[in-house]
């Protein structure tokens, strides 16, 4: 159980912490962000975007951008000359 002095000290530090958060306004600018257009995305089978719908695929009006994780194949084994 905390003593009254400890309780007051904890509340003081909590107040100071929250007070300092009020002094710093959050940055709401996007000066350092980059703009990426849908038509500039790579044309890969894993990437679907509404700017370039592939032929033969039905497009969902709610999907603007869909990126699927590519499937990787295992690397081939070492040739006999390189085996230890």
The full DSSP string for 40-79 is GS---TTEEETTSPPTT-PPPTT-SEEEPPPPPPPPPPPP
- Whether 39 and 51 have beta carbons less than 8 Å apart is answered as yes
pTM over 0.75: no
pLDDT tens digits along 64-77: 888 888 888 898 88
What Cα–Cα distance (Å) separates residue 31 from each residue in 14, 24, 27, 58, 77?
Answer: 33, 18, 10, 37, 49
Average pLDDT over residues 28-32: 70
CA distance 62 to 22: 39
């Amino acid at each position: 159980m905390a003593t009254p002095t400890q309780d007051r000290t904890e509340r003081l530090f909590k107040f100071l912490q929250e007070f300092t958060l009020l002094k710093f306004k959050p940055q709401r600018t996007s000066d350092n962000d980059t703009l990426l257009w849908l038509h500039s995305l790579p044309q890969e089978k894993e990437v679907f975007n509404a700017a370039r719908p592939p032929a033969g695929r039905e497009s969902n009006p709610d999907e603007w951008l869909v990126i699927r994780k590519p499937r990787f194949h295992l690397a081939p084994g070492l040739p006999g000359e390189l085996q230890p």
